Amino acid sequence: MIAQSVRAVLYRAAYCLIHGARNLSEMLRQEGAVTRFAGQALPNYDPEELNYIRELIAEHHQSTHQPIQFAAFYGDQIAAMVGYPSLGLSAYAGLVVATLDAPANPISLLTP
């Protein structure tokens, strides 16, 4: 767990130096690669649920509004705990999809 956390912090710092992330789409790309690189475990969703998540999140790809970004990443239940609006998503929905969509070798995003 500590090794995964360290890997996540190091990869995120390198990614931010090269790319940065402002809107939800860019943040999903970044955090999907971070999670894949770190080897962090996430919930599993069936293909139908994954399609639903992708469609719902696509409506917000250009959002720079932090409550929307938070809800997209972590789902309705966690968003509600901090007073953010619900989007109709399960726990860690956006992070799961982002990780599945990340390159198999996330280092490729850090090299020219």
Helix (H/G/I), strand (E/B), else coil: 87 = coil
For the stretch 45-98, pLDDT in tens is 999 999 999 999 999 999 999 999 999 999 999 999 999 999 999 999 999 999
CA distance 24 to 58: 9
Residue owning tokens 């990443």 = 73
Q: Which domain holds residue 14?
A: 2-109
For the stretch 7-50, pLDDT in tens is 999 999 999 999 999 999 999 999 999 999 999 999 999 999 99
User: What single-letter amino acid sits at 65?
Assistant: H
CA distance 88 to 76: 6
Question: How far does the chain reach from its first CA to its final CA, in angstroms?
Answer: 30
Q: Is the distance from CB of 60 to CB of 87 less than 8 angstroms?
A: yes
Question: Residue 41 is encoded by which pair of tokens?
Answer: 């475990």
Total number of domains in the chain: 1
